[in-house]
Structure 1
Amino acid sequence: MADHRAALAAYERAAALAAGHHTDLDPATRLTHAHAWVGGGAPAFADALSRHRSALQSSLAGALHALALLVVRHGGPAPAVPALTTPVTTLAPVPGRFQGIDADAMTALVASLGRAAHTLPVAGARLAAELSGQALSAEPGHALGRIATWTAAQSDDLRRRLHRIRETVPGLSLPSGLAAYGLFGAHAADPGGAERLLARAGAGDEEAVTRLLSVQEGGADTGLAARIAAWWATLSAGTRERLTALPRFGLLNGLPATVRDRANRRWLAEQRARLERELATATADLGRLADPGLLGGWERIAARLRRIDLIEAELRPVPGHPEPLLLAFDVTGQGRLVVSWGDPDTADITVTSVSGLTSGLDAAHGDLERSRALWQQASYYSGDRAIASITWLGYDAPQLDPGLMDPAKSVAFGSAAAEGGKALASFSDGLHAAHRPSGNARAVVIGHSYGSLTTGRAAVLRPGRFADDVILIGSPGVGVDHARQLGVRAEHVWVGEAGNDPVAALGRFGSDPGDASFGGRHMPVGREVFTAAHSSYWQPYSASLQNMGRIINGQYEKIVQPAPLNTQPQLLMPELGDPTER
């Protein structure tokens, strides 16, 4: 009888411990569910927390069951073992593309883990003593000790990281990447070694920047831009200023747009100075050596200087438009140029234009004019919302040159679009990562001609988070058979095809986006003569430009029909007449 009473007393003391501690990790778990921390190490942390919470409750339950059986073995009545599993029910918000993170919630998470780390070691030791005192295995108590050790380690790590974030990043709503890679960075997978490369870059290692850009170009690391944004946000002002002097540093997606602009303009000036010195040397060598073989080298240097002239000319302020921001450039090879009219980090709406055949640095003027026209049209409809309009010439688009016969470069094949799509997906990651926290900011991507295929490849790589609306203009196909396969809701995939546009009629890459079976929404654009149709979409006052402006602003109900080219009845070509008379 004495053994029965001793076992029952031990059970009751253990039950009191279980009642007081089985929910110790519930507050932290609720916070991770309620605030929709996503990306980077956040999911791995949430999974680890859930496992430790389950282990805490199962260890306590296991101890109670062992003591209850002991009571029965010694002739006592079976105690009613309480259920120790608890539900965690919250109304979790759906994270937006530019949604911020509540810094106070991060503080509450650290505090709740700290409290559990303080109480669980004592509870574990007491439970182990109760079990050992009844000659039972003390493993459930030791398990609580291990859970306490893990919780303490998380609390210390998160407290240190949060302190650093709060010291360097102002405001109560923080970029989501700071939670993904700043707060939960210890749990973030890093197969490409980006964290080590960023540490090296922070110390001034130019090779590390080059390697980061290589990872970025590949488009496989979906969290790279967010990791860069979180890393940048916690650097000191002196370190930031020093890093902007590194060659190509401003090409990193995830950095603030104004930082990229400052770093890239600085690098552009340095390249000009270097190339001018090289050209002077090459000119002297030509005159001194009279070797015609040197002319090719001289011309390459001169061509790159002409490209710098072009970039500097395009960066001059345009009356009535915001200051252009130089987000990326490259004067070598086919050339690259990415310019934003308006700051994409603070804009309420960002639209990125992707061009196709024959586009590139040398022909950038027309693409930049189109982006300015889009900015002007979208701003006309936007009210007090700020617009950023970006020209993205960030890939080697097919050209009408000898490369036309090369499958890797030809407009007849999808190889260039596949490579460009990776780079465009990474660029899109950077726009989202660097944007100020916002619950209603919008991202729109417009792909024209072969650029629509590039846009389609990028959208498939980032399903559900590439853009709010995708507009396909004069598209020969986007590599899929239905709009929903782009990872964007089909009702937000818009297709504009001018009558007589020969490229839009090709349907070479997957289904023809203009067919009803593709599932996209028709954007009225009008009709032009055969030779002008493919480039007519940005004409001032045109229905196509107006409709793009409306879609950019999400004003779908205000889309207009094009004016008829002829108000008289048309027997042979009725599409030229008044649509209300058909």
Structure 2
Amino acid sequence: MTENMLDSRRWAPHTIRAAAAAVDDGRLHLTTLTDRLDDVGRLDGWSGTAADAARAVVRGAVGELRESLRDADIVRRALTDAADDIESILPLGLVGNLSAALARLQVVEGTLVDTLSAVDPDPLPTAVARDEANRRLLVAERARLLAEADRLRNTLHDNVFGGLISNADAGLEQTERRLHALDSIEAVLDKGNRQLLLLDNSGEKETIAAIAVGDVDSAANVAVFVPGLGSTVQDSIGRYDAEVAGIVGPGDAGVTWLGYEAPQLGWSLLDPDTSVLSGRSADVAGDALATFLDGLPADSHTTAVGHSYGSVVVADALTSDTAVDDVVLMGSPGVDVRSAADLNAGNVYVIESPTDAVADTGWFGRDPNLLPGARVLASTGADGHGQYLDAGTVSAANVAAVVSGAPTTPARVRVDAGDVLRVLLGLAF
């Protein structure tokens, strides 16, 4: 993924955000690899000329990579702040700086991995590595946010005007929301058999995260669920985690991917960059999701599951070079493809409740249940727009079947009343 970002001529705001995500991913790899090296270095009998030489090479690689990451992080922060106005940062030469840092990261990280593999041939599980690094980050973020909350409270207490001038009240509210998000993450992790694969507080408003139930590294089947409108880590990840746990079997893994700031209701509807009526959030999220999917074990059977706006994100990710074995689009408000073949998936499945008005809008493109080549599955038990993964529904059983590779139950009727109405109104594709 990193090498695809080094051509600054192709950069757009969503590619810049993906580049920033790649730098963060490199930092996580570095942290875990250096910890692993320390463990290897303490092994009894690991000594001698070869061992000392390996240590020296790795220390040099680690030092260079840390320098690269420091440089890249400065640029990443600038790019994150200015991603929506790319013209304003091009004259600063920041794109070139980040490209150079990413190129150095690529070379040095490869040296580090190759050297460590030579002295410790056991492969480093990617999911385990990310989980360990993100759990440490979780502790550090909680300490940082608690200190920031105390600072903002003191500012409000000492200022006769409160937050009218300093805006400290809004800052405190956002900080407390992020702390709530960390609480929700920890509550899911406390269930056990969980992996924290993503944690990022650098977004403008929301904490983003991804949590797996099961071991992604060893799972034969991996599901990645992407929710839509109104989803937040603090308020939603616990419920989604329970739903995902219900669609994966023993020995399999399911990921709740809230790796983007999902559209919300309210004033954000008026902002074209964040509105649920716009596809811009899906463009940004699609790149991030593609990066995440590319990092999953190549030998696992991978299923991407998108609900509502999340289905738009999934479709965006799968129109790039990223591919999965199967994809399930639930309650989708439309995808910008002409046929199932336009998605890089072995099989495209669609689940749409007859009473789901959102799924009949075709707002973002063609209604998936009318896509040539798509397989429409039964949704019995799922009424309306939000019950597709409820326990006991045929829709949830169908998703579980796709994830495990078991037989599915097809829908009796492919076209419903909403589809007919759209045709009559001349809105069909």
TM-score category, normalised to shorter length: 0.5 to 0.7
CA contact (8 A) 2:259 2:288 kept: yes
| Secondary structure of 2:275's aligned partner | coil
1:460 counterpart residue number: 319
Partner letter of residue 523 of structure 1? L
Q: 2:157 aligns with which of 265, 272, 287?
A: 287
| Secondary structure of 2:254's aligned partner | strand
CA–CA separation in structure 1 for the residues paired with 2:175 and 2:150: 14
- C-alpha distance after superposition, 1:201-249 (max 9, x if no partner): 344743335657979x99xx9x999989855633659xxxxxxxxxxxx
CA–CA separation in structure 1 for the residues paired with 2:377 and 2:248: 16
Say if 1:344 and 1:514 are closer, same or farther in 2 by CA, change over 3 A: same
Correspondence 1:515-530 to 2 at 5 A = 515=370, 517-526=371-380, 528-529=382-383
Say if 1:354 and 1:265 are closer, same or farther in 2 by CA, change over 3 A: same
CA contact (8 A) 1:282 1:298 kept: yes
1:275 counterpart residue number: 145
1:551 counterpart residue number: 402
Shift of 1:561: 6.5
Correspondence 1:480-495 to 2 at 5 A = 480-489=337-346, 492-495=347-350
Alpha carbon RMSD of aligned pairs, Å?
Answer: 3.8
- C-alpha distance after superposition, 1:478-518 (max 9, x if no partner): 211211011224xx100000121011111122221112x53
Shift of 1:407: 2.2
CA–CA separation in structure 2 for the residues paired with 1:478 and 1:231: 41
- C-alpha distance after superposition, 1:275-313 (max 9, x if no partner): 322332332333333232267314423532442233234
| Secondary structure of 2:319's aligned partner | helix
2:183 counterpart residue number: 312
CA contact (8 A) 1:524 1:561 kept: yes
CA–CA separation in structure 1 for the residues paired with 2:177 and 2:275: 26
Q: 1:350 aligns with which of 222, 233, 237?
A: 222
CA–CA separation in structure 1 for the residues paired with 2:112 and 2:76: 14
Shift of 1:361: 2.6
CA–CA separation in structure 2 for the residues paired with 1:265 and 1:312: 13
Q: Among all aligned residue pairs of Structure 1 and Structure 2, give the percentage whose two residues are the same amino acid.
A: 27
Mapped pair 1:397 → 2:262: yes
CA–CA separation in structure 2 for the residues paired with 1:228 and 1:551: 40
Shift of 1:315: 2.5
CA contact (8 A) 1:500 1:527 kept: no
Mapped pair 1:208 → 2:72: yes
CA contact (8 A) 1:354 1:391 kept: yes
Mapped pair 1:325 → 2:189: no
CA contact (8 A) 1:446 1:470 kept: yes
CA contact (8 A) 2:244 2:256 kept: no
CA contact (8 A) 1:504 1:514 kept: no
Partner letter of residue 406 of structure 1? D
Partner letter of residue 281 of structure 1? R
| Secondary structure of 1:315's aligned partner | helix
CA–CA separation in structure 2 for the residues paired with 1:227 and 1:372: 40
Shift of 1:416: 1.4
CA–CA separation in structure 2 for the residues paired with 1:513 and 1:461: 18
Partner letter of residue 355 of structure 2? N
Shift of 1:352: 0.6
Shift of 1:255: 8.1
CA contact (8 A) 1:308 1:331 kept: no
CA–CA separation in structure 2 for the residues paired with 1:330 and 1:343: 24
Shift of 1:398: 1.8
- C-alpha distance after superposition, 1:117-164 (max 9, x if no partner): xxxxxxxxxxxxxxxxxxxxxxxxxxxxxxxxxxxxxxxxxxxxxxxx
| Secondary structure of 1:493's aligned partner | strand
Shift of 1:375: 2.7
Partner letter of residue 312 of structure 2? L
- C-alpha distance after superposition, 1:19-43 (max 9, x if no partner): xxxxxxxxxxxxxxxxxxxx98xxx
Partner letter of residue 545 of structure 1? A
Partner letter of residue 264 of structure 1? N
TM, length-normalised to structure 2: 0.67
Correspondence 1:85-100 to 2 at 5 A = none
CA contact (8 A) 1:353 1:371 kept: no
Q: 1:361 aligns with which of 220, 233, 257?
A: 233
Mapped pair 1:303 → 2:158: no
2:34 counterpart residue number: none
CA–CA separation in structure 2 for the residues paired with 1:511 and 1:202: 46
CA contact (8 A) 1:315 1:324 kept: no
Of 279-288 and 397-406, more deviation after overlay is shown by: 279-288
Q: Which runs of 5+ in 1 are unaligned?
A: 1-38, 41-167, 169-196, 238-253, 564-571, 573-582
| Secondary structure of 2:318's aligned partner | helix
Q: 1:234 aligns with which of 82, 106, 114?
A: 114
2:328 counterpart residue number: 471
Size of the aligned set, in residue pairs, is 330
Mapped pair 1:339 → 2:211: yes
CA–CA separation in structure 2 for the residues paired with 1:319 and 1:270: 18
CA–CA separation in structure 2 for the residues paired with 1:203 and 1:487: 37
Shift of 1:392: 1.0
| Secondary structure of 2:380's aligned partner | coil
CA–CA separation in structure 2 for the residues paired with 1:210 and 1:235: 28
CA–CA separation in structure 1 for the residues paired with 2:190 and 2:159: 49
Q: Which runs of 5+ in 2 are unaligned?
A: 4-39, 41-60, 85-98, 118-123, 418-429
CA contact (8 A) 2:226 2:307 kept: yes
Say if 1:418 and 1:426 are closer, same or farther in 2 by CA, change over 3 A: same
CA–CA separation in structure 2 for the residues paired with 1:327 and 1:511: 31
TM, length-normalised to structure 1: 0.50
2:274 counterpart residue number: 409
Shift of 1:428: 1.1
CA–CA separation in structure 2 for the residues paired with 1:228 and 1:539: 46
Say if 1:390 and 1:562 are closer, same or farther in 2 by CA, change over 3 A: same
- C-alpha distance after superposition, 1:425-444 (max 9, x if no partner): 1111122xxx3x74xx2111
